[in-house]
Structure 1
Amino acid sequence: MDTTKSHNQNSAEDELPSLLWGLDPVFSAYARLYIKDILQMRESRQVPGIYFYKTHPLFQVDMLGTVVYRREREDFYCYGVDDSTGVINCLCWKDKKWRDHGDAVKATGRAAGGGFNVEDQLRKLQEEQRSSSLLEIGDLLRVRGYLKTSRDQREIMASSFYKVNDPVMEVQISRMLEMPQLYKDCYNKPFHVPSSELNAGNTDTGGPSNFQSLLGQSVHILKEFLKEKEVSRFRPYDVEYLLHPLIQRSVPDTSVHEESNSAGPAISTQIRNLLKETLKLLQGEGEIFRKVLSQDEVYNVTEQDKNLLAAICDVLREDCKKEKYAEKGCHVLHILSSVRQRYSQNLSKEALEVALKFLECNSDIISTMDSHYTVL
């Protein structure tokens, strides 16, 4: 136990600047870790929501385990998942079509007559799909999602999940054999930054402390630009030029004059890395989000996205007429679930909260109590 604490403290002191995290392949992947390691990972001092397994930064995991407890809410399930090393809570959102149209689908099936019936076959297919997302205690669950710490407890916010049918334990045995090899070949090996990147990042810009200063300036510049120009959507290359002066000022004149051929690529690499981390921070704050995850990297500006604001108002206008929400209004998690189904599955809670605050400041909606909103 003392060894683990000592290791964590040493790792915290040696934490690499966030601009270099993208060089680690683990950072962009769904890490397949044991639950006991997920629960013990420390959170980054630089960026909340990023965690470290030894020297590897990560924020999303791929997990397989047995459901040991189950709690149901209106919009999501809470599954306790056990992989024999520990238990972690997984928050899995319900699919809106199962909540809203399940009864109608069943009624259609019962009304069908004998023989082949398209609607009846469709109902059977939908029921099969529904059963894969409805789990009971003892079922095998596979989850992919990002990590979050809520009320001092680590949990997984699922982006995808499904029940695994594994009657002869083929899937579980395969994973049991795979995991030790992954730890040996990847996770337990220290993350070494290439010396060229380390020199380009740390030496030319004045060290890790200056990285954080550059990142703060970059975030401020981009926020001011988006607000002043009332930008609703943009791509990274649309705003990359805004960061050129920051990097150019931070590079010593001698390196530019003496090594003009090599300094150029180093500067462009730093600009791209700085922009990548800036966008990541703005996403974490909810200032921007990606409506669609595709190769065309388009970011929506939360406060300027009129379709998003309209979708939120429509949800509140419709649902606050229901008796259940008439008095207190709709909880932020209910709004999030509804807007995700109506507008974008990739909308984060942080982006929703920014949009709600913007609408409230404009007197379009009002908060009735903590985390509850209604229309005026």
Structure 2
Amino acid sequence: MQSDCASAEDTVPAMLWGLDSVHGVFAKLYIRDILELKDSRQVPVDDGTGVISCVQWKKLGPTEGTKPAASPPVCQNLLEQLSRILRLERQNSQLELGDVVQVRGRVRVYRDQREINSTSICKVTDHVFAAQIHRMLELPHLYRTFYDKPCQIRKNSTEPNEEGLHTLSLQRKIKQFLIQNGVKNFYQRELGTVDSLVSTAQQGLRVQDRPQTKEEPPSSASVLKQIRGVFQDAIRSLQEEGVVFQKVSGPNELYLVTDEEKELHSVTLGIIRDDSIRPKHVDKGCPLRHILSCVQHGYSAGVTEATMQRVLDRLECDSNIISTMDRHYTAS
């Protein structure tokens, strides 16, 4: 993550940071990574295990002896609800040594020490450790999906890519269609028979290729070619995401839906169960690259890393495997 951020910082001006989808949001991070963050060279800086200081300024209460201003009857219910929320907030902020807390705030440096200037601290009351387990599962996914990917900003363009937006819309529609109908495999031409998908694809046609007047309609061959192109782009994006993959590449272009391909899940689970007990992997678990290589040799060379990661995430959610560390897995 550090190398990606450093390389991106060398090329992306600070005025364009807002185009990054992660910029300006409260990111959930390991304490270790917060401590190892590097200060920006352009703009100064305003659960792995680790210790970091958290600072929260006390809020000034109402001055004694002052009476609150009279409120209309309509506002009384809202004021009561607000008071109840404030009471709950005060109760959750009463901390003792050893409490597990959720902290949200901004990272800053004070007296050469990195700390979190927190805007909220909430005690986690969780006797069955559900919140901690959820965090252990959530953070690796966030790192893989968002934090570890460098920010890619389109150059020489100030206008949004309209064709890209339509392709993204079709991609979401196809994904929704596959889930709702429990589709296990499909050909691209089959998706071209679904009216709702075709309608979405037609929205992505370039303006100059749409009929300007009733007397001058565009050629149907040109329109169909463009629709097929939009479908190809959307399916390619789904492949890059790992949602679909091709077991056998060829002219038929049969696509398999990753979540529904149970044979792939079974093969992957068998590899992890067999190899995680070997001396080489017994301590840390099987690395993703090793699992992917075994699956490609024993199942299909068409399985990509994104597809493999999606399968592993599903197996982990079903408690069939456990991630021992980043991208290392062992059988549960």
TM-score (norm. length: structure 1): 0.43
Q: Which has the higher helix share?
A: 1
Which one has a bigger Cα radius of gyration?
2
